[in-house]
Structure 1
Amino acid sequence: MKKEIMGRRVAIVVVSLVQSLLLLLLVLSPTTTTATRTNPSVIIVGAGMSGIMAAKTLSDAGITNIQILEATDHIGGRMHKVSFAGINIEIGANWVEGVNGKEVNPIWTLANDLNLRNFFSDFDNVSSNCYKQGGGLHKSSVVEKAIETVDEVNGFGEKLGATLHPSGKDDISVLTMQRLMNHVPSDPVGMVVDYYTSDYEFAEPPRVTSMQNTVPLATFSNFGEDIYFVADQRGYGSVVEHLAHQFLKTDKKSNIVDPRLMLNKVVREISYSKSGVTVMTEDGKKYEADYVMVSVSIGVLQTHLIKFKPDLPHWKILALYQFDMAVYTKIFIKFPKTFWPTGNGTEFFLYASERRGYYPIWQQLERQYPGANVLLVTVTDEESRRIEQQSNAATKAEIMDVLRDMFGKNIPEATDILVPRWWSDRFYKGTFSNWPIGVNRYEFDQIRAPVDRVYFTGEHTSEYYNGYVHGAYLAGIDSANMMIKCIKKGMCKFHIPAKYT
C-alpha cells in the first residue's frame, strides 16, 4: 500500500513537472511573443526613402530578416527621374531644402557624399521678373512691396504662433493670419506673390494650411534658408539607392540583387493579429511575418488600395483622413530655341494672372541643362487635378497661350511636354503631405502610432518635417526605432498625450 501511494505521488510530481515545463515553453514560444526573438521577421511595404531608411535602421540593429515589397519597378518612390527630350529630369522631389543653417540637413550630407550635381536656387531677383497677363513686366517696386507685405504678415504670424498652446488647439489657418493683418490679396500681383510664398511651398492655398505648423517652418529655421536644385543625370533617387546598397546585396555592377527586395509587388491586403501579420499582393502571393512597416503615402492610406484585416481602428482612420495629401505638378516643356531671358537674376519668373494659380511659377533651366531649351512651370492643388484630367495637347496649348502672353506671338511652338500625374497614380495619390488647419498634435501622434504589429512611416509621420525628403529620411529612422524598442525591450506601447496637453 505504501509503495502504491508513493508511486502515485511520484507520478503526480512527474505530471506536474511536465505541465510546468510545457507552460514555460508556451510562454517562451515565439508564436506568443516575438519581443524576445533576436531576429524576428519584418515586412516593409514600399521602397521609397522612408521604407529604405526604416529597413536600413532595422538591419543596423541586427534585425536582418526583412522583406521589402515595392509596388513599382524601382526604388526611391516619389524621388524619381525620367528621360525627357534627351536628359534625365526629376518628376518628383527636386530640391535639397534647408541648407547652410545651424544644423546640417542629412540629405545635404548624402548629396555631397555622392557628389550630386546641384545648383543654388536664387529667388532674390524674382520681383524683376513678374509678367503681366496682357504682356510686359510689372514694376519691380510693386512686386517687391507685395513680397515685403507677405514678410510682415509672416512675422506677425511667428509672434502669434509663439503665444498659442503647443497642442494646436488654438491653431488658425494661414488665411486667418492674413485676415488678422488685413491682407488678403485679390489683385494679380498680390495673388501670384501669395501663391509664390505659400502654395509653391505647401501645394495648397492659405485657407487650408495650418499657421502654427508652418510659420515659421522648422526646415528653414533649423537647417537654413538656402535650397539647391538637383540636376544630376544619375537622378536624385540615387541617394536612396546609396542607402539601400549599405545593407542589401549588390552585384559587381552595383545592381541590387538581394532577394529581400521585391519589385512590382503591389500590396492589397494586410491581416494582423497579436501573433503576427500576413501580407497579400496583387499577384496572389502571401507573405507572413512578425511585424509589418507600412511606408506608403498618406494619400494611398486614404484610399482602398490596401485593405486592413481587421479594419484599422476608428481613431486611426479618422486621423489619417484629416491630414492632407497635396498635389504639386512640375510640367517640363522643350523648345527648339531659347526665347526667354537668360543669365544672372532670370532663373525664376512669375505670371500674374487674374486667375489665381494659373501657370504662375516658371523656371528656366539653362544652368542645369545647358542647351536643352527647357522650361519648368509649376501648378498645384485644383489646377494640378484639372490638368491631370485633360490631354497633354490641351495642356501644351494652354501653356503656349500663357507664354505668348508673356513673350509675344512669334515664339516657337514647344516640341515636347511632360506632365506628371501624381494624383491619378494609385501608388501615390499625390506628391507630399500638407498639415491642414484642424489637425492638432494629438491627431498627428495618432497618424504616427502603430496598431498592434502594424507600424507606419513616411514623410507624413515626420514630427517637424512632413512634406520634405529629409522628413521621409528621419521618419524612417524614428519608426524603425519604435519597432526596435518593441522587439528588443518589449516596450511596444506608443504613448499619445491627451488631446490638449
Structure 2
Amino acid sequence: MELKGNDSGRRHGSSPSVIVIGGGISGVAAACFLHNAYFKVLLLESRDRLGGRIHTDNSFGCPVDMGASWLHGVCNENPLAPLIRRLGLTLYRTSGDDSVLYDHDLESCMLFDMDGHQVPHKIVAEVGDVFKKILDETEKVRNENSNDISVLQAISIVLDRHPELRQEGVSHEVLQWYICRMEAWFSADADTISLKTWDQEQVLTGGHGLMVQGYHPVIEALSKDIDIRLNHRVKAITDGYNKVMVTLEDGRNFVADAAIITVPIGVLKANLIEFKPELPDWKLSAIADLGVGNENKIALRFDTVFWPNVELLGIVAPTSYACGYFLNLHKATGHQVLVYMAAGRLAYDVEKLSDKEAANFVMRQLKKMFPDAPEPVQYLVSRWGTDPDSLGCYSYDLVGKPTDIYDKLRAPLGNLFFGGEAVCMDDHQGSVHGAYSAGIIAAEDCCQHLIKRLGSVQLVSSREEILKSIVPLKISRM
C-alpha cells in the first residue's frame, strides 16, 4: 500500500484496501475481521510491540499484565469468550456479579491500618454495607439535580443528610478505601466522575476473571497472518474523495480505500495526529469532552511468599488518595508476585518517580502490613499517563458533559472509521471486550461502506467458523 509516484489507484478486480491505525486489541480485531473477509489490510502501530494498553510482560519468568488483565463478564455472551475458549486460556474469577469492590469479592480480602494492625473483617463488611447505602442515596441526589455534579460531591450531600452513615476512626478509613476502589474502577478521582452516568454502564454477567496466562495469547491469535508494521508512527491522515493517505512521522505515505482509527482517546485529545480536512467541530467536541483516566501498576517479584493467601491486600487511610491495595498473583497464578495499583492523581504522582523510587514507595506500603517483608528481586512500573502512545488508561464520563459523546466518537467520516475502547457500543467503555467489539463493528461498517462504493466482495470466511466451537470457559476458584 505504500504510495510510489502516481501508482495509488486500486487495480481492477483487486480486493479493497484498508489501513488500520493502532495495534491494540481493537485495531488487531478490526484487521483480523478484514483479513478474514479477504480485504487487503495493513496495520500500522507506533510501538515496537502489539497490544497497546494490553501488555503482558514476561521478564519475571511468568506472565504479568501491566495493562488490562481482567475479562469483565465471565460468560459465553462475552464477545471474547469464543476465542478464549479456543485458545484454552484459564480465567481466575475474582468476583461474582454484584461486588461492592467491583472486580473482587470481600471474602478474599485483608485490610490493614497505617500502623499495621489488621482491620477486623466484621468492620470491613459493615462499612461495605454502609457504602452501598451511600451509593443508593446518591441516586436520589441525582434525581433532584437537573445539573450534573461529581460522585464525591453527591456522597458529601448524602452524608450531610444522613449523619448516621458517617463513619469514625478506622471505619472512616475503611470507607475511604472503598472510595479508593471505586476510583480504581474508573481510573479517576471521585471528584471528577459524573454522578449522572457513573452507574449507567452495562456489565456482563459471570463476574470478573483474571487472565491467568495474560492477555498476550489473545493478541497473538488475532494478529496471525496480518501485515503489521511496528514502529510506524502516524502523523497525518488525509481523507480524499475515494482514497485515504496516511503519513508517517518519517514522511512515508500509505494509501488505501479506507482507514480505521483505533488509537487511544488520549492520543486524539492531544492532537498528535493531523486530520486533513480537519475533523468537524462536533467530532472535536466529543473528543475534548470525554475524560481519560489513569491507573498504574507496580509489580514486585519476591523469592518467597510472606503474605497471606488472600487475593487482595489493602491499606486503609484517612483519605482515598492515601489508601492502597495489592493484587496477590500467587493465589491466582502460583507466581510469587504482588501488584500494587494506583489510580487517578496518585497514578500520575507515581509517574513522577523513577522506577526504583516507585518500588520503594510501594515497599513502604507493604512493610506497614508486613514489617519483615524482604526486598523484591525484580520490579516493573507502568506509566500509562505519560506514555506518548497512550496518554492515559481508558475513558470515563466527566462531570457535566453531553451524553451523546460516544455516538459522535464512533460516527464515521467519509472513508474514516473509528474504533477503540472509547467508542464501543452498549456502555462497555474501558473494557477489553468493549475495545474488541468496537474494532469488529468499525470493520463491519468499513466493509459495508466499501462494498457500496466499490462493488460486492466476499465477506464470509471459514476461518471465522473455528471461533464458534462450543468449549466451556476454563475458570478456577468459583
Per the normalisation by structure 2, the TM-score is 0.82
Contact 1:188/1:352 (8 A) holds in 2: yes
Candidates 242, 259, 265, aligned match of 1:275: 242
Q: Which residue of 2 aligns with 1:204?
A: 188
Task: Please report how far the alpha carbon of residue 132 of structure 1 lies from its aligned counterpart in structure 2 after TM superposition.
Answer: 0.4
Q: Which amino acid in structure 2 is aligned with residue 239 of structure 1?
A: V
Contact 2:131/2:175 (8 A) holds in 1: no
Contact 2:108/2:311 (8 A) holds in 1: no
Q: Which residue of 1 aligns with 2:392?
A: 430
In structure 2, distance between residues paired with 1:193 and 1:206: 11
Candidates 162, 174, 182, aligned match of 2:151: 174
Q: Which residue of 1 aligns with 2:221?
A: 242
Q: Which residue of 2 aligns with 1:488?
A: 451
Task: Please report how far the alpha carbon of residue 396 of structure 1 lies from its aligned counterpart in structure 2 after TM superposition.
Answer: 2.1
Query: Is 1:195 the equivalent of 2:157?
Result: no
Written as runs of structure 1 = structure 2, the 5 A alignment for 1:10-159 is 39-62=15-38, 64-100=39-75, 104-122=77-95, 123-125=104-106, 129-156=110-137
Q: Which amino acid in structure 2 is aligned with residue 42 of structure 1?
A: V
Task: Please report how far the alpha carbon of residue 279 of structure 1 lies from its aligned counterpart in structure 2 after TM superposition.
Answer: 0.8
3-state DSSP class of the match of 1:109? helix
In structure 1, distance between residues paired with 2:295 and 2:109: 25
Task: Please report how far the alpha carbon of residue 242 of structure 1 lies from its aligned counterpart in structure 2 after TM superposition.
Answer: 1.6
Candidates 197, 215, 232, aligned match of 1:213: 197
Identical pairs, percent: 28
Candidates 226, 230, 235, aligned match of 2:211: 230
3-state DSSP class of the match of 2:409? helix
Task: Please report how far the alpha carbon of residue 299 of structure 1 lies from its aligned counterpart in structure 2 after TM superposition.
Answer: 0.6
> What's the CA shift string for 1:206-260, capped at 9, x where partnerless?
22223443315312xxx2151111121xx41221222233xx3xxxxxxxxx5x3
In structure 2, distance between residues paired with 1:316 and 1:164: 31
Q: Which amino acid in structure 1 is aligned with residue 94 of structure 2?
A: S
> What's the CA shift string for 1:316-369, capped at 9, x where partnerless?
222101112211112111223222112xxx211210023423361212222334
Change in CA separation of 1:309 and 1:216 when aligned onto 2, cut-off 3 Å: closer
Task: Please report how far the alpha carbon of residue 185 of structure 1 lies from its aligned counterpart in structure 2 after TM superposition.
Answer: 7.5
Candidates 342, 347, 350, aligned match of 1:384: 347
Q: Which residue of 1 aligns with 2:475?
A: none
Task: Please report how far the alpha carbon of residue 115 of structure 1 lies from its aligned counterpart in structure 2 after TM superposition.
Answer: 1.1
Query: Is 1:405 the equivalent of 2:356?
Result: no
Contact 1:359/1:378 (8 A) holds in 2: no
Change in CA separation of 1:290 and 1:184 when aligned onto 2, cut-off 3 Å: farther
The CA RMSD measured in Å over matched residues stands at 2.9
Change in CA separation of 1:432 and 1:133 when aligned onto 2, cut-off 3 Å: same
Q: Which has the higher contact order (CA 8 A, sep 6+)?
A: 2
Change in CA separation of 1:108 and 1:40 when aligned onto 2, cut-off 3 Å: closer
3-state DSSP class of the match of 2:364? helix
Q: Which stretch has the larger CA shift, 328-337 or 170-179?
A: 170-179
Q: Which stretch has the larger CA shift, 444-453 or 298-307?
A: 444-453
Change in CA separation of 1:263 and 1:194 when aligned onto 2, cut-off 3 Å: same
Q: Which residue of 2 aligns with 1:24?
A: none
> What's the CA shift string for 1:179-222, capped at 9, x where partnerless?
453268793221111112x1121111222223443315312xxx
Q: Which residue of 2 aligns with 1:364?
A: 328
3-state DSSP class of the match of 1:367? helix
Q: Which residue of 2 aligns with 1:25?
A: none
Change in CA separation of 1:44 and 1:338 when aligned onto 2, cut-off 3 Å: same
Change in CA separation of 1:261 and 1:128 when aligned onto 2, cut-off 3 Å: closer
In structure 1, distance between residues paired with 2:313 and 2:117: 12
In structure 2, distance between residues paired with 1:355 and 1:160: 23
Contact 1:157/1:215 (8 A) holds in 2: no
Written as runs of structure 1 = structure 2, the 5 A alignment for 1:329-348 is 329-342=296-309, 346-348=310-312
In structure 2, distance between residues paired with 1:448 and 1:280: 22
Q: Which residue of 2 aligns with 1:443?
A: 405
Task: Please report how far the alpha carbon of residue 51 of structure 1 lies from its aligned counterpart in structure 2 after TM superposition.
Answer: 1.0
In structure 1, distance between residues paired with 2:24 and 2:127: 38
Change in CA separation of 1:185 and 1:67 when aligned onto 2, cut-off 3 Å: farther
Q: Which residue of 2 aligns with 1:460?
A: 422
3-state DSSP class of the match of 2:342? strand
Contact 1:126/1:349 (8 A) holds in 2: no
Change in CA separation of 1:224 and 1:301 when aligned onto 2, cut-off 3 Å: same
Task: Please report how far the alpha carbon of residue 139 of structure 1 lies from its aligned counterpart in structure 2 after TM superposition.
Answer: 2.4
In structure 2, distance between residues paired with 1:429 and 1:435: 17
In structure 2, distance between residues paired with 1:327 and 1:356: 15
| Residue segments in structure 1 that go unaligned for 5+ positions in a row | 1-30, 249-257, 492-501
Contact 1:136/1:406 (8 A) holds in 2: yes
3-state DSSP class of the match of 1:366? helix
Change in CA separation of 1:263 and 1:128 when aligned onto 2, cut-off 3 Å: closer
Q: Which amino acid in structure 2 is aligned with residue 449 of structure 1?
A: A
Q: Which amino acid in structure 2 is aligned with residue 190 of structure 1?
A: L
Contact 2:351/2:383 (8 A) holds in 1: yes
Task: Please report how far the alpha carbon of residue 41 of structure 1 lies from its aligned counterpart in structure 2 after TM superposition.
Answer: 2.2
3-state DSSP class of the match of 1:484? helix
Contact 2:298/2:380 (8 A) holds in 1: yes
3-state DSSP class of the match of 2:361? helix
3-state DSSP class of the match of 2:404? helix
Task: Please report how far the alpha carbon of residue 172 of structure 1 lies from its aligned counterpart in structure 2 after TM superposition.
Answer: 4.5
Query: Is 1:474 the equivalent of 2:458?
Result: no
3-state DSSP class of the match of 2:80? helix
In structure 1, distance between residues paired with 2:62 and 2:109: 30
Q: Which residue of 2 aligns with 1:12?
A: none
Contact 1:270/1:308 (8 A) holds in 2: yes
